[in-house]
Amino acid sequence: MKSSDILLQESIERDRTGTTNGPDAIAYKIVFNALEKQPSFSLHPSFAEKIIQKIKDAKEGQSHRRDLIWLGLGLCAFIMASIFVILVTNLKFTLGVFTFLSNYGGLVFFAIVLVGVLQLVEKILLKRIFF
């Protein structure tokens, strides 16, 4: 690029209305005027709101993750404490009061089936009545 060209650019940048003429000067004036126009790019009108919502969602996600971590830690602590207590107290598992149920296996089975059937009937009836 010629230095005269650089000088011409500088002179037009300083004074767009200058009297410098000639094809190069006229072309540069057109270029400078066009350069100051905004590029034709626009963002969605609710662009800012979308970003803010994303940040809020991310924060909620983070807090949910934090809660899960605390829950996991709590469960671990509970299990470890239980193991510790079992070992220290030499705990032995017995069915205790439930041992008498072993004599009534059929009754226990009947109770479980009855509860199951009642649940099923209730579900079917509710569906018919309300839906």
Partner 1 sequence: MTEDEAIISRIIKGDMESFGQLIKRHERLVGHMISRLVKIKEDQEELCQDVFLKVHEKLGEFHFQSRLSTWIATIAYRHAINHLRKKRIPMSDLDEDKEFKERFVDQGDLEEDLADRDIEEKVKKYIDQLPAHYSTVLTLYHVDGMSYSEIGKITGMPEGTVKNYLFRARNLLKEKVLKHLGKEEIR
Token couple for 32: 């400078």
**What is the C-alpha radius of gyration for the chain, rounded to an integer number of angstroms?**
41
Q: Which is nearer to partner 1, 45 or 96 (CB)?
A: 45
Distance CA 96, CA 70 (A): 34
**Shortest distance in whole angstroms from residue 67 CB to partner 1:** 19
**Shortest distance in whole angstroms from residue 40 CB to partner 1:** 7
Distance CA 11, CA 21 (A): 11
Q: How many residues does the chain have?
A: 131
Q: Which is nearer to partner 1, 27 or 108 (CB)?
A: 27
Q: Which is nearer to partner 1, 1 or 129 (CB)?
A: 1
**Shortest distance in whole angstroms from residue 69 CB to partner 1:** 21
Q: Which is nearer to partner 1, 27 or 120 (CB)?
A: 27
Distance CA 25, CA 16 (A): 10
Residues that bind partner 1 (CB under 8 A): 1, 5-6, 9, 22-24, 26-28, 30-44, 47-52, 54-56
**Shortest distance in whole angstroms from residue 30 CB to partner 1:** 5
Q: Please, what is the Cα angle at 16 between 11 and 21, to 5 degrees?
A: 70
